[in-house]
């Protein structure tokens, strides 16, 4: 799953946005969040919005809006 997300991000053109989270299991999403935070620190993307789930009370991130830098 991480490879697929990485490929989607690599395929984005500069300035284009991508929503991540639909159809992704919540625990897998946490690995994707870690990947995106690393890419953001490297200047590859910018995380525009993080949405936290409210069902479990753990406030885990269930979707991200990112923009290619």
Digit-coded pLDDT (tens) for 19-63:
999 999 999 999 999 999 999 999 999 999 999 998 888 999 999
Whole-prediction pTM: 0.92
Q: Dihedral of CA 33/37/39/43: which sign?
A: positive
Listed by start position, the domains of the chain span: 2-68
Helix, strand, coil shares of the chain, percent, nearest 5, are 40, 30, 35
Q: Give the number of other Cβ atoms within 10 Å of residue 50's Cβ.
A: 15
Whole-number pLDDT of residue 56: 82
Q: How far apart are CA 27 and CA 31, in angstroms?
A: 7
Q: For residues 5-32, give the mean pLDDT.
A: 96
Whole-number pLDDT of residue 19: 98
Q: How far apart are CA 43 and CA 22, in angstroms?
A: 24
Was domain 2-68 assigned CATH 3.30.70?
no
């Amino acid at each position: 799953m991480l490879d697929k997300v990485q490929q989607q991000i690599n395929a984005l053109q500069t300035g284009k946005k991508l929503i991540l989270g639909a159809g992704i299991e919540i625990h897998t999403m946490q690995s994707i969040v870690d990947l995106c935070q690393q890419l953001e620190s490297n200047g590859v993307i910018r995380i525009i919005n993080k949405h936290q789930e409210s069902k479990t009370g753990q406030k885990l991130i269930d979707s991200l809006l990112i923009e290619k830098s």
